Amino acid sequence: MQIFEKSIHFANGAKVFMAEENGVTFLYAEGDFGFAGEKTEVEGKAVVKAPLTHENACVLRKVFPFTAPIRVLGKERSFGVGDRLGIATPGHIEVFAGYDAYPVLAQQSMRELTLTNRTYEDVLDCVTFATFRDNFTKGFGADGDHLKKAEDVRYALELGYTMITLDCSDHIRNDVAEMDDAAVAAAYTKNAAIEERYIGKSFDVGEGITVSFDEAALRRIVLVYGKAIAFATSIYETFFKDGKYNADFEISIDETLTPTTPLEHFFVANELTIAGVHFETMAPRFCGEFQKGIDYIGDLKQFTEEMTVHSQIARHFGYKLSIHSGSDKFSTFPIIGEKTRGIFHVKTAGTNWLEAMRVVAMVDPKLYREIHAYALEAFDEATKYYHVTTDLSKIPALDTVSDADLPKYFDQNDARQLIHITYGLILSRKNVDGSFTFRDKLYTLWKENEKTYTEALLRHIGKHLDLLGVQHA
Ligand code: ZN
Protein backbone atom coordinates (compact mmCIF):
# COMPACT_ATOMS: atom_id res chain seq x y z
CA MET A 1 0.00 0.00 0.00
CA GLN A 2 1.40 3.37 -1.02
CA ILE A 3 0.14 6.46 0.82
CA PHE A 4 -0.08 9.73 -1.10
CA GLU A 5 1.95 12.02 1.17
CA LYS A 6 0.05 15.22 0.37
CA SER A 7 -3.33 13.56 0.89
CA ILE A 8 -2.94 13.25 4.66
CA HIS A 9 -5.56 15.53 6.22
CA PHE A 10 -7.27 15.79 9.58
CA ALA A 11 -10.87 16.58 10.49
CA ASN A 12 -12.08 16.58 14.11
CA GLY A 13 -8.69 15.16 15.03
CA ALA A 14 -9.13 12.09 12.85
CA LYS A 15 -6.92 11.25 9.89
CA VAL A 16 -8.21 10.91 6.33
CA PHE A 17 -5.85 10.05 3.48
CA MET A 18 -5.52 8.35 0.13
CA ALA A 19 -3.41 5.38 -0.82
CA GLU A 20 -2.96 3.09 -3.75
CA GLU A 21 -3.24 -0.66 -3.45
CA ASN A 22 -2.54 -2.90 -6.48
CA GLY A 23 -2.94 0.07 -8.76
CA VAL A 24 -6.31 1.16 -7.30
CA THR A 25 -6.71 4.29 -5.18
CA PHE A 26 -8.87 4.33 -2.03
CA LEU A 27 -9.75 6.81 0.69
CA TYR A 28 -8.94 5.78 4.25
CA ALA A 29 -10.71 7.43 7.17
CA GLU A 30 -9.90 6.88 10.82
CA GLY A 31 -12.98 8.71 12.08
CA ASP A 32 -16.60 8.06 11.24
CA PHE A 33 -17.44 10.62 8.59
CA GLY A 34 -19.98 8.59 6.69
CA PHE A 35 -17.72 7.21 3.96
CA ALA A 36 -19.12 3.99 2.54
CA GLY A 37 -16.54 1.22 2.48
CA GLU A 38 -15.09 -1.73 4.29
CA LYS A 39 -13.81 -1.67 7.87
CA THR A 40 -10.17 -2.66 8.10
CA GLU A 41 -6.93 -1.75 9.87
CA VAL A 42 -3.95 0.36 8.81
CA GLU A 43 -0.89 0.42 11.09
CA GLY A 44 -2.96 -0.98 13.94
CA LYS A 45 -5.72 1.63 13.61
CA ALA A 46 -9.30 0.96 12.63
CA VAL A 47 -10.17 2.67 9.33
CA VAL A 48 -12.86 2.72 6.71
CA LYS A 49 -11.38 1.89 3.31
CA ALA A 50 -13.63 3.70 0.87
CA PRO A 51 -13.66 3.39 -2.92
CA LEU A 52 -13.67 6.54 -5.07
CA THR A 53 -17.41 6.59 -5.72
CA HIS A 54 -19.76 9.51 -6.26
CA GLU A 55 -21.27 8.92 -2.81
CA ASN A 56 -17.85 9.17 -1.16
CA ALA A 57 -16.93 12.25 -3.21
CA CYS A 58 -20.04 13.95 -1.80
CA VAL A 59 -18.92 13.12 1.76
CA LEU A 60 -15.38 14.32 1.03
CA ARG A 61 -16.67 17.68 -0.24
CA LYS A 62 -18.60 18.17 3.02
CA VAL A 63 -15.76 17.16 5.34
CA PHE A 64 -13.06 19.01 3.36
CA PRO A 65 -14.71 22.00 1.65
CA PHE A 66 -11.57 22.82 -0.36
CA THR A 67 -12.40 19.78 -2.50
CA ALA A 68 -15.74 21.36 -3.50
CA PRO A 69 -15.92 23.97 -6.27
CA ILE A 70 -16.19 27.69 -5.54
CA ARG A 71 -17.27 30.63 -7.68
CA VAL A 72 -14.21 31.87 -9.54
CA LEU A 73 -15.56 34.25 -12.20
CA GLY A 74 -15.53 37.08 -9.66
CA LYS A 75 -11.75 36.69 -9.33
CA GLU A 76 -9.68 38.91 -11.58
CA ARG A 77 -8.21 36.07 -13.58
CA SER A 78 -9.92 32.78 -14.17
CA PHE A 79 -8.97 30.09 -16.64
CA GLY A 80 -10.97 27.08 -17.75
CA VAL A 81 -9.17 23.81 -18.30
CA GLY A 82 -11.64 21.05 -18.93
CA ASP A 83 -10.27 17.62 -18.08
CA ARG A 84 -12.12 15.51 -20.61
CA LEU A 85 -10.18 12.39 -19.75
CA GLY A 86 -10.26 12.68 -15.98
CA ILE A 87 -6.45 12.48 -15.87
CA ALA A 88 -5.23 16.04 -16.47
CA THR A 89 -6.23 17.53 -13.13
CA PRO A 90 -3.01 16.64 -11.23
CA GLY A 91 -1.08 18.54 -13.91
CA HIS A 92 -3.53 21.45 -13.91
CA ILE A 93 -3.22 21.66 -10.13
CA GLU A 94 0.54 22.02 -10.38
CA VAL A 95 0.17 24.75 -12.99
CA PHE A 96 -2.32 26.88 -11.04
CA ALA A 97 -0.56 26.46 -7.71
CA GLY A 98 2.15 28.57 -9.33
CA TYR A 99 0.14 31.34 -10.99
CA ASP A 100 -2.06 34.24 -9.90
CA ALA A 101 -5.20 32.87 -11.56
CA TYR A 102 -8.06 30.60 -10.50
CA PRO A 103 -8.72 27.46 -12.52
CA VAL A 104 -12.01 25.94 -13.57
CA LEU A 105 -10.89 22.35 -13.21
CA ALA A 106 -14.26 20.73 -13.96
CA GLN A 107 -15.62 22.00 -17.25
CA GLN A 108 -17.50 20.05 -19.88
CA SER A 109 -20.21 20.61 -22.42
CA MET A 110 -22.99 18.11 -23.09
CA ARG A 111 -21.30 17.23 -26.37
CA GLU A 112 -18.07 16.42 -24.53
CA LEU A 113 -19.94 14.30 -21.99
CA THR A 114 -21.47 12.29 -24.82
CA LEU A 115 -18.22 11.91 -26.74
CA THR A 116 -16.29 10.81 -23.67
CA ASN A 117 -19.07 8.69 -22.19
CA ARG A 118 -18.98 10.57 -18.88
CA THR A 119 -21.43 12.28 -16.51
CA TYR A 120 -21.27 15.58 -14.63
CA GLU A 121 -21.02 13.57 -11.42
CA ASP A 122 -17.91 11.81 -12.69
CA VAL A 123 -16.29 14.99 -14.05
CA LEU A 124 -16.59 16.80 -10.71
CA ASP A 125 -15.74 13.76 -8.57
CA CYS A 126 -12.46 13.22 -10.43
CA VAL A 127 -11.47 16.80 -9.62
CA THR A 128 -12.56 16.48 -5.98
CA PHE A 129 -10.38 13.40 -5.48
CA ALA A 130 -7.43 14.98 -7.28
CA THR A 131 -7.53 18.17 -5.19
CA PHE A 132 -7.66 16.07 -2.03
CA ARG A 133 -4.84 13.76 -3.12
CA ASP A 134 -2.55 16.64 -4.07
CA ASN A 135 -3.74 19.08 -1.35
CA PHE A 136 -4.84 21.86 -3.72
CA THR A 137 -6.61 24.21 -1.31
CA LYS A 138 -6.62 27.41 -3.36
CA GLY A 139 -10.09 26.84 -4.83
CA PHE A 140 -11.41 25.90 -8.25
CA GLY A 141 -14.55 26.34 -10.31
CA ALA A 142 -16.90 23.82 -11.96
CA ASP A 143 -18.51 24.89 -15.23
CA GLY A 144 -21.58 23.39 -16.86
CA ASP A 145 -20.21 24.48 -20.20
CA HIS A 146 -22.19 25.47 -23.28
CA LEU A 147 -25.55 24.37 -21.91
CA LYS A 148 -28.56 25.00 -24.12
CA LYS A 149 -31.47 23.58 -22.14
CA ALA A 150 -33.04 24.41 -18.79
CA GLU A 151 -32.95 20.76 -17.71
CA ASP A 152 -29.18 20.60 -18.30
CA VAL A 153 -28.66 23.81 -16.34
CA ARG A 154 -30.65 22.30 -13.47
CA TYR A 155 -28.65 19.06 -13.64
CA ALA A 156 -25.31 20.87 -13.27
CA LEU A 157 -26.52 23.29 -10.58
CA GLU A 158 -28.09 20.53 -8.48
CA LEU A 159 -24.73 18.75 -8.41
CA GLY A 160 -23.06 21.88 -7.07
CA TYR A 161 -21.49 23.24 -10.26
CA THR A 162 -20.52 26.84 -9.51
CA MET A 163 -20.83 28.24 -13.01
CA ILE A 164 -23.18 27.87 -15.93
CA THR A 165 -22.20 28.88 -19.44
CA LEU A 166 -25.46 29.45 -21.22
CA ASP A 167 -25.11 28.82 -24.93
CA CYS A 168 -27.64 31.08 -26.63
CA SER A 169 -26.72 30.01 -30.15
CA ASP A 170 -29.98 28.15 -30.88
CA HIS A 171 -31.78 31.47 -30.35
CA ILE A 172 -29.46 33.63 -32.46
CA ARG A 173 -30.60 34.11 -36.04
CA ASN A 174 -27.71 33.44 -38.39
CA ASP A 175 -29.85 33.92 -41.49
CA VAL A 176 -30.20 37.68 -40.92
CA ALA A 177 -26.64 38.26 -42.17
CA GLU A 178 -27.82 37.19 -45.62
CA MET A 179 -30.90 39.46 -45.62
CA ASP A 180 -31.02 42.96 -47.15
CA ASP A 181 -32.52 45.89 -45.24
CA ALA A 182 -35.94 45.43 -46.87
CA ALA A 183 -36.10 41.77 -45.83
CA VAL A 184 -35.02 42.73 -42.31
CA ALA A 185 -37.71 45.42 -42.15
CA ALA A 186 -40.32 42.88 -43.25
CA ALA A 187 -39.28 40.29 -40.66
CA TYR A 188 -38.93 42.80 -37.83
CA THR A 189 -41.76 43.35 -35.34
CA LYS A 190 -41.92 46.94 -34.19
CA ASN A 191 -40.94 47.48 -30.58
CA ALA A 192 -41.58 51.07 -29.56
CA ALA A 193 -39.70 50.89 -26.25
CA ILE A 194 -36.55 49.57 -27.88
CA GLU A 195 -36.68 52.05 -30.74
CA GLU A 196 -37.11 54.89 -28.28
CA ARG A 197 -34.11 53.62 -26.34
CA TYR A 198 -31.68 53.30 -29.24
CA ILE A 199 -32.52 55.00 -32.52
CA GLY A 200 -30.41 58.07 -32.99
CA LYS A 201 -28.86 57.62 -29.55
CA SER A 202 -25.19 57.46 -28.65
CA PHE A 203 -23.88 55.68 -25.60
CA ASP A 204 -20.67 56.68 -23.91
CA VAL A 205 -18.96 53.59 -22.49
CA GLY A 206 -15.92 55.49 -21.25
CA GLU A 207 -12.34 55.96 -22.43
CA GLY A 208 -13.67 58.10 -25.29
CA ILE A 209 -15.57 55.17 -26.81
CA THR A 210 -19.17 55.67 -27.88
CA VAL A 211 -21.57 53.35 -29.69
CA SER A 212 -24.54 54.64 -31.68
CA PHE A 213 -27.47 53.06 -33.47
CA ASP A 214 -29.44 53.98 -36.55
CA GLU A 215 -32.78 52.42 -37.42
CA ALA A 216 -31.51 49.86 -39.93
CA ALA A 217 -28.74 48.63 -37.64
CA LEU A 218 -31.08 48.39 -34.67
CA ARG A 219 -33.71 46.33 -36.52
CA ARG A 220 -31.04 43.94 -37.66
CA ILE A 221 -29.63 43.50 -34.17
CA VAL A 222 -33.07 42.99 -32.62
CA LEU A 223 -33.82 40.33 -35.18
CA VAL A 224 -30.53 38.49 -34.59
CA TYR A 225 -30.40 38.71 -30.78
CA GLY A 226 -33.97 39.35 -29.56
CA LYS A 227 -34.82 35.71 -28.84
CA ALA A 228 -31.40 35.00 -27.32
CA ILE A 229 -31.86 37.84 -24.83
CA ALA A 230 -35.33 36.53 -23.91
CA PHE A 231 -33.90 33.02 -23.46
CA ALA A 232 -31.03 34.21 -21.23
CA THR A 233 -33.49 36.27 -19.20
CA SER A 234 -35.78 33.28 -18.61
CA ILE A 235 -32.88 31.05 -17.54
CA TYR A 236 -31.66 33.78 -15.18
CA GLU A 237 -35.10 34.18 -13.63
CA THR A 238 -35.58 30.43 -13.22
CA PHE A 239 -32.21 29.57 -11.70
CA PHE A 240 -30.20 32.59 -10.58
CA LYS A 241 -32.45 35.42 -9.51
CA ASP A 242 -33.41 34.05 -6.11
CA GLY A 243 -29.83 33.05 -5.26
CA LYS A 244 -30.82 29.45 -4.48
CA TYR A 245 -27.72 28.15 -6.21
CA ASN A 246 -24.36 29.65 -5.35
CA ALA A 247 -23.22 29.91 -8.96
CA ASP A 248 -21.96 32.34 -11.59
CA PHE A 249 -23.73 33.00 -14.87
CA GLU A 250 -21.91 33.31 -18.18
CA ILE A 251 -23.70 34.40 -21.32
CA SER A 252 -22.23 32.86 -24.45
CA ILE A 253 -23.10 34.26 -27.87
CA ASP A 254 -19.95 32.99 -29.56
CA GLU A 255 -21.24 29.94 -31.43
CA THR A 256 -22.56 31.93 -34.38
CA LEU A 257 -21.60 32.19 -38.02
CA THR A 258 -20.51 35.82 -37.85
CA PRO A 259 -18.41 37.71 -35.29
CA THR A 260 -20.16 39.80 -32.65
CA THR A 261 -19.66 43.46 -33.49
CA PRO A 262 -19.03 45.88 -30.62
CA LEU A 263 -22.47 47.40 -31.35
CA GLU A 264 -24.16 44.02 -30.98
CA HIS A 265 -22.17 43.28 -27.83
CA PHE A 266 -23.32 46.57 -26.29
CA PHE A 267 -26.95 45.94 -27.23
CA VAL A 268 -27.06 42.46 -25.71
CA ALA A 269 -25.37 43.62 -22.50
CA ASN A 270 -27.58 46.69 -22.20
CA GLU A 271 -30.82 44.80 -22.78
CA LEU A 272 -29.87 42.08 -20.30
CA THR A 273 -28.99 44.73 -17.72
CA ILE A 274 -32.33 46.51 -18.25
CA ALA A 275 -34.10 43.15 -17.83
CA GLY A 276 -32.38 42.80 -14.44
CA VAL A 277 -30.15 39.92 -15.52
CA HIS A 278 -26.93 39.76 -13.52
CA PHE A 279 -24.09 37.87 -15.12
CA GLU A 280 -20.38 37.59 -14.37
CA THR A 281 -19.02 37.02 -17.87
CA MET A 282 -19.98 37.29 -21.52
CA ALA A 283 -18.39 35.47 -24.45
CA PRO A 284 -18.80 37.29 -27.76
CA ARG A 285 -17.47 35.79 -30.94
CA PHE A 286 -14.35 37.74 -31.86
CA CYS A 287 -13.22 38.57 -35.37
CA GLY A 288 -10.92 36.11 -37.10
CA GLU A 289 -10.92 32.39 -36.46
CA PHE A 290 -10.48 30.60 -33.17
CA GLN A 291 -10.05 27.09 -34.48
CA LYS A 292 -9.41 24.17 -32.19
CA GLY A 293 -5.87 23.52 -31.02
CA ILE A 294 -3.99 26.03 -33.19
CA ASP A 295 -3.05 29.70 -33.08
CA TYR A 296 -5.34 32.55 -34.12
CA ILE A 297 -6.08 32.96 -37.83
CA GLY A 298 -6.95 36.52 -38.79
CA ASP A 299 -5.99 40.17 -38.73
CA LEU A 300 -4.29 40.97 -35.42
CA LYS A 301 -4.67 44.71 -35.96
CA GLN A 302 -8.43 44.40 -36.30
CA PHE A 303 -8.48 42.00 -33.36
CA THR A 304 -6.61 44.57 -31.23
CA GLU A 305 -9.02 47.36 -32.18
CA GLU A 306 -12.13 45.30 -31.49
CA MET A 307 -10.69 43.85 -28.27
CA THR A 308 -10.17 47.41 -27.06
CA VAL A 309 -13.87 48.17 -27.50
CA HIS A 310 -15.19 44.78 -26.28
CA SER A 311 -13.06 45.13 -23.14
CA GLN A 312 -14.33 48.64 -22.49
CA ILE A 313 -17.97 47.58 -22.93
CA ALA A 314 -17.45 44.78 -20.39
CA ARG A 315 -15.80 47.20 -17.95
CA HIS A 316 -18.60 49.70 -18.44
CA PHE A 317 -21.24 47.16 -17.41
CA GLY A 318 -19.05 45.54 -14.77
CA TYR A 319 -18.51 42.01 -16.06
CA LYS A 320 -15.53 40.15 -17.47
CA LEU A 321 -14.93 39.14 -21.05
CA SER A 322 -14.80 35.40 -21.58
CA ILE A 323 -12.62 34.14 -24.40
CA HIS A 324 -13.67 30.73 -25.70
CA SER A 325 -11.65 28.25 -27.76
CA GLY A 326 -8.68 29.92 -26.11
CA SER A 327 -6.27 27.03 -26.38
CA ASP A 328 -3.11 27.80 -28.31
CA LYS A 329 -4.16 31.34 -29.36
CA PHE A 330 -0.69 32.52 -28.45
CA SER A 331 -0.54 35.55 -30.76
CA THR A 332 -3.68 37.03 -29.17
CA PHE A 333 -2.78 36.51 -25.52
CA PRO A 334 -0.61 39.60 -24.98
CA ILE A 335 -3.40 41.68 -26.58
CA ILE A 336 -6.10 40.10 -24.42
CA GLY A 337 -4.00 40.58 -21.28
CA GLU A 338 -3.37 44.23 -22.08
CA LYS A 339 -6.81 45.31 -23.29
CA THR A 340 -8.72 43.59 -20.47
CA ARG A 341 -6.16 45.03 -18.01
CA GLY A 342 -5.53 41.56 -16.74
CA ILE A 343 -9.17 40.86 -15.87
CA PHE A 344 -10.53 37.99 -17.94
CA HIS A 345 -11.84 34.48 -18.21
CA VAL A 346 -10.17 32.28 -20.81
CA LYS A 347 -11.42 28.81 -21.69
CA THR A 348 -9.44 25.98 -23.12
CA ALA A 349 -10.75 22.48 -23.52
CA GLY A 350 -8.98 20.09 -25.82
CA THR A 351 -5.41 21.23 -25.57
CA ASN A 352 -4.73 18.93 -22.62
CA TRP A 353 -5.91 16.04 -24.81
CA LEU A 354 -3.28 16.98 -27.38
CA GLU A 355 -0.63 17.06 -24.67
CA ALA A 356 -1.82 13.63 -23.50
CA MET A 357 -1.43 12.33 -27.06
CA ARG A 358 2.01 13.92 -27.30
CA VAL A 359 2.97 11.76 -24.32
CA VAL A 360 1.70 8.69 -26.21
CA ALA A 361 3.87 9.62 -29.19
CA MET A 362 6.84 9.99 -26.83
CA VAL A 363 6.51 6.74 -24.89
CA ASP A 364 4.67 4.25 -27.12
CA PRO A 365 5.40 4.84 -30.83
CA LYS A 366 3.60 1.66 -31.91
CA LEU A 367 0.33 2.60 -30.20
CA TYR A 368 0.64 6.16 -31.44
CA ARG A 369 1.00 4.98 -35.04
CA GLU A 370 -2.15 2.86 -34.77
CA ILE A 371 -4.14 5.79 -33.40
CA HIS A 372 -2.79 8.25 -35.94
CA ALA A 373 -3.72 5.90 -38.78
CA TYR A 374 -7.22 5.49 -37.36
CA ALA A 375 -7.60 9.29 -36.93
CA LEU A 376 -6.88 9.74 -40.65
CA GLU A 377 -9.68 7.28 -41.43
CA ALA A 378 -12.08 8.92 -38.96
CA PHE A 379 -11.32 12.50 -39.95
CA ASP A 380 -14.27 13.02 -42.30
CA GLU A 381 -16.71 11.80 -39.68
CA ALA A 382 -15.19 14.13 -37.06
CA THR A 383 -15.51 17.22 -39.25
CA LYS A 384 -19.27 16.99 -38.79
CA TYR A 385 -18.75 18.34 -35.28
CA TYR A 386 -16.02 20.91 -35.83
CA HIS A 387 -15.15 23.75 -38.13
CA VAL A 388 -11.51 23.39 -39.13
CA THR A 389 -9.42 24.11 -42.22
CA THR A 390 -7.15 21.10 -41.79
CA ASP A 391 -5.14 20.11 -44.87
CA LEU A 392 -4.41 16.40 -44.45
CA SER A 393 -1.93 16.49 -47.33
CA LYS A 394 0.39 18.66 -45.24
CA ILE A 395 0.71 16.00 -42.53
CA PRO A 396 3.87 13.93 -43.06
CA ALA A 397 2.96 10.30 -43.79
CA LEU A 398 3.53 7.91 -40.88
CA ASP A 399 6.03 5.75 -42.77
CA THR A 400 8.28 8.76 -43.39
CA VAL A 401 8.52 9.71 -39.70
CA SER A 402 10.93 7.98 -37.32
CA ASP A 403 9.76 6.94 -33.86
CA ALA A 404 11.85 9.67 -32.28
CA ASP A 405 10.18 12.30 -34.45
CA LEU A 406 6.56 11.27 -33.76
CA PRO A 407 6.10 13.93 -31.04
CA LYS A 408 6.83 16.55 -33.72
CA TYR A 409 3.36 15.94 -35.12
CA PHE A 410 2.19 18.05 -32.20
CA ASP A 411 4.16 21.03 -33.49
CA GLN A 412 2.36 20.91 -36.85
CA ASN A 413 -1.07 22.58 -37.09
CA ASP A 414 -2.75 20.15 -39.45
CA ALA A 415 -1.65 17.14 -37.43
CA ARG A 416 -2.78 18.87 -34.22
CA GLN A 417 -6.25 19.41 -35.64
CA LEU A 418 -6.42 15.87 -36.97
CA ILE A 419 -5.81 14.44 -33.49
CA HIS A 420 -7.80 17.19 -31.77
CA ILE A 421 -11.13 16.71 -33.48
CA THR A 422 -11.05 12.91 -33.62
CA TYR A 423 -10.71 12.51 -29.84
CA GLY A 424 -14.25 11.27 -29.30
CA LEU A 425 -13.98 8.69 -32.05
CA ILE A 426 -10.57 7.52 -30.85
CA LEU A 427 -11.78 7.07 -27.28
CA SER A 428 -15.02 5.34 -28.18
CA ARG A 429 -13.72 3.04 -30.94
CA LYS A 430 -14.54 -0.60 -30.21
CA ASN A 431 -13.33 -3.96 -31.47
CA VAL A 432 -15.73 -6.59 -32.81
CA ASP A 433 -15.84 -8.24 -29.36
CA GLY A 434 -17.12 -4.99 -27.82
CA SER A 435 -13.90 -4.07 -26.02
CA PHE A 436 -12.35 -0.63 -26.55
CA THR A 437 -9.67 -0.50 -29.23
CA PHE A 438 -7.60 2.30 -27.68
CA ARG A 439 -9.31 3.62 -24.58
CA ASP A 440 -8.05 1.15 -21.98
CA LYS A 441 -4.51 1.06 -23.38
CA LEU A 442 -4.41 4.85 -23.31
CA TYR A 443 -5.58 5.13 -19.71
CA THR A 444 -3.02 2.58 -18.60
CA LEU A 445 -0.28 4.47 -20.42
CA TRP A 446 -1.31 7.82 -18.94
CA LYS A 447 -1.43 6.39 -15.43
CA GLU A 448 2.08 5.00 -15.81
CA ASN A 449 3.36 8.29 -17.24
CA GLU A 450 1.62 10.77 -14.97
CA LYS A 451 4.81 12.70 -14.30
CA THR A 452 5.63 13.14 -17.99
CA TYR A 453 2.08 14.35 -18.61
CA THR A 454 2.23 16.81 -15.71
CA GLU A 455 5.48 18.24 -17.10
CA ALA A 456 3.90 18.61 -20.54
CA LEU A 457 0.92 20.48 -19.06
CA LEU A 458 3.13 22.71 -16.94
CA ARG A 459 5.02 23.77 -20.02
CA HIS A 460 2.01 24.13 -22.31
CA ILE A 461 -0.63 25.73 -20.04
CA GLY A 462 2.14 27.76 -18.42
CA LYS A 463 2.93 29.25 -21.82
CA HIS A 464 -0.71 30.37 -22.13
CA LEU A 465 -0.62 32.07 -18.73
CA ASP A 466 2.78 33.68 -19.28
CA LEU A 467 1.66 35.25 -22.57
CA LEU A 468 -1.57 36.50 -20.97
CA GLY A 469 0.65 38.30 -18.48
CA VAL A 470 -0.42 36.27 -15.45
CA GLN A 471 2.12 36.66 -12.65
CA HIS A 472 3.70 33.77 -10.84
CA ALA A 473 2.11 33.28 -7.43
ZN1 ZN B 1 -17.97 28.97 -26.84
One-character DSSP codes across 184-234: HHHHPPP-HHHHHHHBT-EEEEETTEEEEB-HHHHHHHHHHHHHHHHHHHH
User: pLDDT value at position 428?
Assistant: 92
Residue 439: closest CA among 447, 429, 448, 431: 429
283 alpha carbon – ligand 1 mean position (Å): 7
What residues are neighbours of ligand 1 (ion), with CB under 5 Å?
Answer: 254, 324
Distance separating alpha carbons of residues 271 and 194, to the nearest angstrom: 9
User: What is the CA(365)–ligand 1 centre distance, in A?
Assistant: 34
For residue 417, the CA-to-ligand 1 centroid distance in Å is 17
Q: 316 near 205, Cβ under 8 Å?
A: yes
Which residues are within 8 A (CB) of 272 and not within 5 positions of it... i.e. 6 or more apart? 229, 232, 233, 251, 279
| Res 388: pLDDT | 86
370 CA distance to ligand 1 middle (Å) = 32
C-alpha 282 – ligand 1 centre gap (Å) = 10
How high is the pLDDT of residue 305? 97
Instruction: Output b/e per residue, 364-397; b: 16+ Cβ within 10 A.
Output: bbeebbebbebbeebbeebeeeeebebeeeebee
Four-point Cα dihedral 305, 311, 316, 319, nearest 10:
160
Phi, psi (deg, nearest 5) at residue 208 = 75, 10
- Rounded to whole angstroms, how far apart are CA atoms 224 and 217? 11
Helices of type H across 134-200:
150-158, 181-187, 192-198
Question: With contact defined as beta carbons under 8 Å apart, do 71 and 246 qualify?
Answer: yes
Measured CA angle at 44 (ends 6, 136), to 5 deg: 10
Instruction: Estimate to the nearest angstrom the gap between the alpha carbon of 218 and the chain centroid.
Output: 32
**What residues contact residue 4 under an 8 Å CB cut-off, 6+ apart?**
17, 18, 19, 20, 25, 133, 134
d(CA 363, CA 50): 33
- In the chain, what percentage of residues exceed pLDDT 70? 100
Residue 175 known to be catalytic: no
Instruction: Give residue 294 CA to ligand 1 midpoint distance, Å.
Output: 16
- Count CA atoms closer than 13 A to 421's CA, side-chain side: 25
Residue 25: its pLDDT value, please?
97
SS3 99: strand
The answer to whether 145 is a known catalytic residue is yes
Taking 50 as the pLDDT cut, the residues of the chain under it are none
Cβ partners under 8 Å of residue 248, min gap 6: 71, 72, 73, 74, 141, 162, 163, 164, 279, 280, 281
Residue 292's pLDDT is: 86
Instruction: Name the active-site residue from 134, 167, 250, 280.
Output: 250
Distance 290 CA to ligand 1 centre (A): 10
Which of 143, 145, 264, 280 is an active site residue?
A: 145
CA angle 351, 357, 359 (to 5 degrees): 110
Residue 295, helix vs strand vs coil? coil
Global confidence as pTM:
0.95
DSSP state of 141: E
Q: How far is the CA of 225 from the centre of ligand 1 (A)?
A: 16
Output the CA 397–ligand 1 centroid distance in Å: 33
Rounded to the nearest whole angstrom, what is the distance from the C-alpha of residue 23 to the centroid of ligand 1? 37
- Rounded distance between C-alpha atoms, residue 166 and residue 247, angstroms: 12
